[in-house]
């Protein structure tokens, strides 16, 4: 599977530092891409211990794996959340990325994948 483009639209109130907020959301979306397509932590069911030997066995997305990502800010300052109308950005960008990719796979193939990372061969 390959993701060619990602677009995220976020309502985070007033953005005080657009460059930092955009970078934080790009990172979250990249993490969501890794969660959906490559990251697999293996756990021993008897001992409940992670059995990945090292980070070399835990695949995370690198620059060549990440498509063009566009971040859009929508909404206006929200005075009900804080006096300045701001909301935290944090890693909200990760939320929904894996589900969106899984839905795109379903739309393309008709197969509903429910385990991460997504693998068409597994189901």
Q: Which residues are identified as catalytic?
A: 91
CB 54 within 8 A of CB 121: no
Strand partners, 113: none
SS3 track for 11-38: ECECCCCHHHHHHHHHHHHHHHHHHHHC
**What per-residue string of b and e applies to 62-93 under the rule 16 or more CB within 10 Å gives b?**
eeeeeeebebebeeeeeeeeeeeebbebeebb
Q: What is the C-alpha to C-alpha distance for residues 25 and 93, in angstroms, rounded to an integer?
A: 5
């Amino acid at each position: 599977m390959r993701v060619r483009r990602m677009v995220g639209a976020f309502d985070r109130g007033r953005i005080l530092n657009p460059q930092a907020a955009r970078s934080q959301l790009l990172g979250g979306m990249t993490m969501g891409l890794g969660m959906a397509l490559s990251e697999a932590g293996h756990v021993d069911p008897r001992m409940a211990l992670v059995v990945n030997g090292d980070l070399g066995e835990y695949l995370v997305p690198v620059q060549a794996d990440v498509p063009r990502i566009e971040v859009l800010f929508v909404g206006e300052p929200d005075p009900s959340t804080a006096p300045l109308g701001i909301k935290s950005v944090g890693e909200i960008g990760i939320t929904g990325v894996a589900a969106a990719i899984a839905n795109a796979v379903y739309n393309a193939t008709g197969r509903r994948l429910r385990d991460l990372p997504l693998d068409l061969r597994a189901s």
